[in-house]
Structure 1
Amino acid sequence: MSYRIVHSDDVEEGRGPHPAGSPFDKRISERLGLAAFEMYKVQLPPGAATEPHDHVCDGVEDAYAIVRGSGWLVVDGTEVPLREGHFVAVSTQSVRFVRAGDDGCDLLAVCA
């Protein structure tokens, strides 16, 4: 394979193998055939949230890019406002989740 293109509209939502898998996840890396890291598009409706989790046991690093909407990153109980254009990294030991604001929140999650 020299390249592969996938449109997120063509990827079904659903929980994947990630410990924090949510029903709002689109497993983009799977569809692209990637093995070195995981990439998800997460489309949170207003008020919805991802699963609280950390990566103490597996050492996986998470990075998020907010591509539409707004919400909050909740890290170890502290709420941090998020909006379109924000990029976030969270340490492996911190418990984190994202909660969408009134307009929903779409984000890309990269896990490696």
Structure 2
Amino acid sequence: MTFQIVDQAALPTGRGPHPAASPFEKRVGEELGLTAFGLYQIELPAGEETVPHDHRDDGAEDAYAIVSGHGWLVVDGGETPVEPGQYMAVTVESSRYLRAGADGLVFIAVCATPPAA
């Protein structure tokens, strides 16, 4: 097959292998057969949050793209408001998680370990 398309509405929701796995994630990358990086859509209900974590042990880099709703990116205890259209990345040593505001928060997370130099 030269391509694959999945509909996010048809994806199961549940915990995956990522250190920040939550019951609110859809493992898009697995459904597409991707192996070089993790690709997730996380749909946090109002007031819910992902698991605080860092990547000191595995060196993985995380990037996030806010799709809808509002909330906060919490890095090393400091809170920064986030909204649709924003992209963010967090250094591997920093503890991070996202928390949804009153209207929930939907975001895309991409996680990958850089190749050894």
TM-score w.r.t. the length of structure 2 is: 0.95
In structure 2, C-alpha distance between the alignment counterparts of 1:38 and 1:90, rounded to whole Å? 16
Report SS of the residue matched to 1:29: helix
User: Which of structure 1's runs of 4+ aligned residues deviate more than 2 A?
Assistant: none
Report SS of the residue matched to 2:4: coil
Cα distance per residue 1:54-82 (max 9 Å; x no partner): 00000000000000011000000000000
In structure 1, C-alpha distance between the alignment counterparts of 2:83 and 2:92, rounded to whole Å? 23
Instruction: Tell me the residue number matched to 1:70.
Output: 70
1:20 Cα offset (Å): 1.1
Q: Which amino acid aligns with 1:97?
A: Y
In structure 2, C-alpha distance between the alignment counterparts of 1:14 and 1:74, rounded to whole Å? 22
Give the total of aligned pairs.
Answer: 112
Q: Which amino acid aligns with 1:69?
A: G
1:19 Cα offset (Å): 1.2
Instruction: Tell me the residue number matched to 1:58.
Output: 58
Instruction: Tell me the residue number matched to 2:101.
Output: 101
In structure 2, C-alpha distance between the alignment counterparts of 1:19 and 1:109, rounded to whole Å? 12
Unaligned runs of 5+ in 1: none
Cα distance per residue 1:12-71 (max 9 Å; x no partner): 110001111000010000000000000000000000000000000000000000000110
In structure 1, C-alpha distance between the alignment counterparts of 2:27 and 2:41, rounded to whole Å? 7
Could you say what the CA RMSD is over the residues aligned between the two structures, in angstroms? 0.4
Report whether the alignment pairs 1:10 with 2:10. Answer: yes
Instruction: Tell me the residue number matched to 1:31.
Output: 31
